């Protein structure tokens, strides 16, 4: 199993599930895209290229696992959802 910033992925998941607030969790690419109401491929392309998605700059990636899976801070996604389109 991979690790992020020296923590095993299972430890990150355990911490996320134990948090009291949903937005305190690390969210995978699929969950972030679902919340943002965009296609996974569009979100991944926007993050990698820095291009806008739905008129807004993409949220910042929190970390990437050894297997290349993207993780976003839930609060970053929440902030992105609150932004107005340009």
Cβ–Cβ under 8 Å, residues 35 and 42: no
| pLDDT at site 52 | 95
DSSP-derived secondary structure for 36-72: HTS-HHHHHHHHHH---BTTBPPPPP-EE-TT--EEE
For the chain, the structural domain boundaries read 3-82
Ramachandran area for residue 6 (φ above 0: left; ψ -120 to 50: alpha; else beta):
left
Which whole number is the average pLDDT over 63-68? 91
| pLDDT at site 70 | 94
Q: Dump pLDDT digits (tens) for 9-63.
A: 555 555 555 556 888 999 999 999 999 999 999 999 999 999 999 999 999 999 9
Instruction: Give dist(CA 31, CA 71) in Å, integer.
Output: 9
């Amino acid at each position: 199993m991979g690790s992020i910033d020296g923590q095993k992925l299972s430890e990150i998941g355990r911490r996320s599930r134990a948090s009291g607030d949903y937005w305190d969790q690390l969210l995978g690419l699929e969950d972030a895209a679902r919340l943002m109401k965009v296609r996974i491929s569009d979100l991944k392309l926007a993050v990698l290229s820095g291009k806008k998605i739905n008129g807004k700059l993409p949220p910042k990636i929190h970390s990437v696992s050894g297997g290349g899976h993207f993780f976003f801070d839930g609060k970053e996604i929440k902030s992105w959802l609150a932004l107005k389109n340009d």
